[in-house]
Amino acid sequence: MSSTDILMKPLVSVLQMLRNRVISTEELLHRTYTRINETKSLNAFVSVVEKNDNLEFCIKDDRSSILKGIPFAVKDNFSTRNISTTCASNMLRNYVPTYSATVVKKLTDAGGTLMGKTNLDEFAMGVGTVDSIIGPTRNPWQYDFQHPNPDDWYIAGGSSGGSAVAVATGASYFALGSDTGGSVRLPASFCGVVGLKPTYGSLSRHGLISLVNSMDVPGILARCVDDVVFIYNILSGNDPRDSTTVQGKVEKVVIEENPSVKDLVVGIPKQYHGPDVSPEIIDCWKWAADIFSNNGAKVVEVSLPHTQYSIVCYHVLCCGEVASNMARYDGLQYGHRSDGGFTEEMYAKSRNEGFNESVRGRITAGNYFLLRRNYRKYYEKAQKVRRLIQTDIKKVFDKGSGKNSGVDVLLAPVTVSTAPQYKTFAQKTNSYRTVEHDIYTQSANMAGVPAISVPVRLSQAKLPISLQLLASNFNEGTLLRAAKFLENASSFQHPKFDF
């Protein structure tokens, strides 16, 4: 079997091959390192774990472990013991943690093999994975590996673009990302993989370097829904190190090979029919609604009336928390320290050298919103709007008697278009890009509900089109069942890229 065939197989299939000794963990590791090298021009990895270190781990690994040496990757804003964690920023270029994030440790304890840390927008502030100290990550779709053009390629999406590309190309069977306003679902959509943003609190945030504490969640990227379910069941549950995780056990998700949707009520948010959404995405959305309806689900239109304020509300809250979280990087206790004279001079110079323009812009905006004279006008008002957005979504999922209630899942676009070309994307500011591409994703973060991006078909330009499903808090079982149904119905084919 060729490397391409085995590296693009579902995780659950490869685990069976390892159990039956059709392939060894060592051989799988060799093939994965070869793939990482073959796709180096995509710039998906910030750093790669030394091959000999991982070979030693595989030899020691117990073959009865859950993951049996399966290669995986982690976004470079999760702390990893003795492995640099940069957040793609000069501010943390030399940071080597002494511990691993809980979700990373759970995967290595289960026998997974960490291949490396993946690229992101600096401190996860972006939607393209283009603002990184190591340069942008490129989308493998419509990319000429034999004769790459430095100007003619599509963005991977962000901020977890490196993780999405690693999974899409077979350089990793699955990967961790973080999702604050769509940073897992957006790159998953652009790169044609599945991206899960779990319920806030179902996965530990311990060791995930903070961006927006009230919205950040670890997310899972894989090539199929079954693989996402498998990894979610390993990672979910309470963590004593993270007070925001759910108390008690999280129920394990089990879905059938061909799940039924006859008992589901699928909601179509009417406010998501925006004027800027690509006709191809609208057509795909209508097709999916018909598929659910034709297979017994009840499809209804629902209203989320405060959606129109959502992206502006998100921007204010995001910048406010960013300003607070980034204050710790002062060159004295944390982060890059510049050569300077007086304390104030060193402090200013360290932050100017350590943060890029996009990060400094959000800090400045956040500090403005948090000024005493502005706090009630902007930040406090945004918190009130956030509560209205949460209430809208909660009402839709509540099994009440109202016309706009009783929905099991919402079906919506992930973004307004397929992946844009870099040369077009780069002309826009970071804040404008966020407004344009996070418009349909960030509401789930403000409400804390789970959401998933599922690839459905290809556009005329042969780029992936994905759709998004949302469910109520801690209802990942229903969400993933609906996602599996949509995946089966679409029969999306992962390509064998010409490496």
Find out whether 382 and 114 touch, Cβ atoms under 8 Å.
Answer: no
Tokens 């209508």 correspond to what residue?
286
Q: Which residue has the tokens 């998004």?
A: 468
Kindly write down the DSSP assignment for every residue of 177-236, as one continuous string.
EEESSSTTHHHHHHHT-EEEEPPTTTS--TTBPPS-TTT-EEEEEESSHHHHHHHHHHH-
Residue among 79, 159, 189, 453 flagged as catalytic: 159
**What value does the CA radius of gyration of the chain take, rounded to a whole number of Å?**
22
Q: Are 414 and 197 in contact (CB under 8 A)?
A: no
Question: Is 197:452 a contact under the CB 8 Å cutoff?
Answer: yes
For Cα atoms 194, 321, 309, give the angle at the middle one, nearest 5 degrees: 70
DSSP code for 255: -
Which long-range contacts does 51-54 make (Cβ < 8 Å, 24+ apart)? Answer: 54/29, 54/113, 54/114, 54/115
Cα(108)–Cα(71) distance, integer angstroms: 10
Amino acid (1-letter code) at residue 356: N
In the residue annotation, 159 being an active-site residue is answered as yes
Distance (Å, whole) CA 74 – CA 62: 22
Q: What is the DSSP code (8-state) at residue 252?
A: P
Burial of 205 (C-beta count, 10 Å sphere; 0-12/13-18/19+): buried
**Residue 324 token pair:** 């607070």
Q: Is 278 a catalytic residue?
A: no
Strand order through the sheet with 71-75? 45-48, 113-118, 71-75, 174-179, 217-222, 194-197, 451-458, 464-471, 409-413, 265-269, 298-302
- Strand pairing class (194-197; 451-458): antiparallel
Maximum Cα–Cα distance for the chain, whole Å? 71
Of 9, 68, 75, 484, the active-site residue reads: 75
The rounded distance, in Å, linking the Cα atoms of 469 and 449 is 11
- Which conformational region is residue 462 in: left (phi greater than 0), alpha (psi within -120 to 50 degrees), or beta? left
Catalytic one among 79, 172, 183, 472? 183
Q: What are phi and psi of 387, to 5 degrees?
A: -65, -40
Peptide bond into 159 cis (omega under 30): yes
Inter-residue contact 430 to 436 (CB < 8 Å): no
Catalytic residue annotation: 75, 159, 183
